[in-house]
């Protein structure tokens, strides 16, 4: 379905095979079946979220179980599809996951920028406070610094 919609797709029959492919290739999205040979899809989902945070996981299942849905989203799933599904269900989830992935990446860049600004301001404050605490007349020192600016 994904290939016919213009996406490059790969498949894995087991969680171990999926882990092996994740090591050797980069994936924007991973579709994970809740019930997989070897380990549960939820376990693989947790692994993907912690080890490959830039890969958006979408859970796929044949059972409509509210507990599993909640567990999947708490573990970091970007979407949830119940089988059998139509191609439109798949494409809506894939498109949504790709958009969220892009937003998350942008948020990471913004947070890093804010942290850098905060550290710069903190360093400026440290540079200002330490010399003032060592000055003989801190009030006079502040006035002189303001005049120099």
DSSP secondary structure letter of residue 75: T
Torsion of CA 101, 105, 111, 113, to 10 degrees: -160
Residue 33 pLDDT exceeds 90: yes
Query: 55 falls in which pLDDT band (50, 70, 90)?
Result: very high
Q: Which residues of 2-29 are buried (b: 16+ CB within 10 A; e: fewer)?
A: beeeeeeeeebeebeebbeebeeeebeb
pLDDT at residue 60, rounded to an integer: 94
Residue 20 pLDDT exceeds 60: yes
The residue with greater pLDDT, 126 or 146, is 126
pTM: 0.67
- Tell how far CA 136 is from the center of its chain: 51
Q: What is the pLDDT of residues 101-140, one digit of tens each?
A: 888 777 766 767 778 788 887 777 777 665 555 556 555 5
Say how far apart CA 21 and CA 44 lie, in whole Å. 13
Coil, helix or strand for 31? strand
């Amino acid at each position: 379905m994904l290939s016919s919609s213009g996406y490059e797709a790969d498949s894995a029959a087991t969680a171990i095979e999926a882990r092996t492919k994740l090591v050797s290739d980069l994936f924007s999205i991973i579709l994970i079946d809740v019930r997989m040979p070897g380990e549960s899809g939820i376990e693989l989902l947790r692994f993907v979220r912690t080890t490959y945070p830039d890969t958006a996981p979408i859970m796929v299942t044949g059972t409509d179980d509210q507990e599993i849905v909640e567990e999947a989203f708490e573990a970091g799933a970007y979407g949830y599809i119940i089988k059998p599904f139509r191609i439109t269900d798949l494409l809506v989830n894939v498109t949504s996951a790709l958009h969220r992935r892009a937003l998350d990446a942008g948020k990471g860049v913004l947070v890093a920028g804010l942290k850098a600004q905060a550290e710069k301001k903190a360093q400026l404050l440290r540079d200002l406070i330490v010399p003032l605490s060592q000055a003989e007349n801190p009030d006079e020192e502040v006035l002189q610094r303001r005049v120099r600016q």
